[in-house]
Amino acid sequence: MARLTNEQLSHFEEFGFLKVENIIDPEKIIDPIVDEYHSVLSNLANELFKEGKITSKYEDLPFGERVTKIYAESGEVHNQYFDFSLPQSGIKSDTPFWAGPAVFNALRCESLLDAVETIIGDEIFSNPIQHVRIKVPESEAPRDENGQVKFGATPWHQDAGVATKEVDNTNMLTVWFPLMDASEENGCLQVVPGSHVGKVLTHCPGFNPKTGKLVQGLAAGGLQIPTTLFESDEAMAVPMKKGDALFLTKKTVHSALPNISDKIRWSFDLRYQPIGEPTGRDIFPGFVARSKKNPEDVLYDPQIWHDMWQDARDNLAKEEQFAFNRWDGDDPACA
């Protein structure tokens, strides 16, 4: 059992975050994910090469260099091909996603669930707000029409702020871990200790982190909490090694630094919560990851998990898209 100690729990409750070292077995959990994504990248390369968007498949390069070259030459970020969730809008019948067995195995990692159980209890639901993040070096990253890196530094936010209001009544826990070492240079997370105490702060749509102003239609800025609403000067970077995990409350203010290195930054961003509570994106499929009350409800089959996401995609493609964003930018803090 990888249950957290009382000291670790006290740190989490006081500061709103906890870094746990060597909690994930790299050989059993992470390396199979890396192997699985090699095939995903090859499929992407074949598709882009066939469409004439790249002049080479870069088959002789290791994963990080290969994905960087493909993103740079195509001029696009193709993270949806690797993601094990669907986008928040524009879902089509052919929207790509990847819900493979190695990814499912990571979501069900026993040592992670042991730690999660210590925080939220033993009735654990895998929340569908989950992502893989591949950030290529900014020096080679695709840019938009404004010259902004298309997928660079992540703005300041709380994870409750990017879900519907229903999640405010949920004990949602974030588990973030890198698939390779995450340093300040390649874009590790930074957190604001103690920022979880209080309410969900205003998140401004289209907020430009460089100018501090709201710019309608600025996709690069995304949702961001204005720094006037929290103590940004108290932020601390959290470098991590492969095998480490970072636990965050749903209200802990955090962001990701830009990747100014020459290597990719690659991470998983997972959520867990008690069974039966709102997920904040209830039209996406979650599953019971652990239950002592009803062990027969626990999902062990990765194919069923994959099919749940495929069914969700196919159904949503036929419907009017649901808006997850609860913010409209009218708050005075966004002025």
Per-residue pLDDT tens over the stretch 234-279: 999 999 999 999 999 999 999 999 999 999 999 999 999 999 999 9
Instruction: Evaluate whether residue 326 is within a structural domain.
Output: no
Instruction: Evaluate whether residue 328 is within a structural domain.
Output: no
150-173 burial, b if ≥16 CB within 10 A, otherwise e? bbbbbbbbbbbbbbbeebbebebb
pLDDT of res. 150: 77
pLDDT digits (tens, 9 = 90+) for 102-124: 999 999 999 999 999 999 999 99
Q: How confident is the model at residue 17 (pLDDT cuts 50, 70, 90)?
A: very high
pLDDT digits (tens, 9 = 90+) for 70-88: 999 999 999 999 999 998 8
Instruction: Evaluate whether residue 333 is within a structural domain.
Output: no
Instruction: Evaluate whether residue 100 is within a structural domain.
Output: yes
Instruction: Evaluate whether residue 329 is within a structural domain.
Output: no
Question: Is residue 160 scored above 70 in pLDDT?
Answer: yes
Instruction: Evaluate whether residue 148 is within a structural domain.
Output: yes
Total of domains in the chain: 1
Closest to 242 measured CA to CA, from 16, 26, 12, 18: 26
- The stretch 133-156 carries a mean pLDDT of 84
Mean model confidence pLDDT for the chain: 91
Strand 189-191 vs strand 287-290: parallel, antiparallel, or unpaired?
unpaired
Q: How confident is the model at residue 328 (pLDDT cuts 50, 70, 90)?
A: confident
| DSSP bridge pairs for 215 | none
- CATH code at position 130: 2.60.120.620
**3-state SS string for 176-191:** EEECCCECCCCCCEEE
Domain hosting 290: range is: 6-319
Instruction: Evaluate whether residue 335 is within a structural domain.
Output: no
Instruction: Evaluate whether residue 1 is within a structural domain.
Output: no
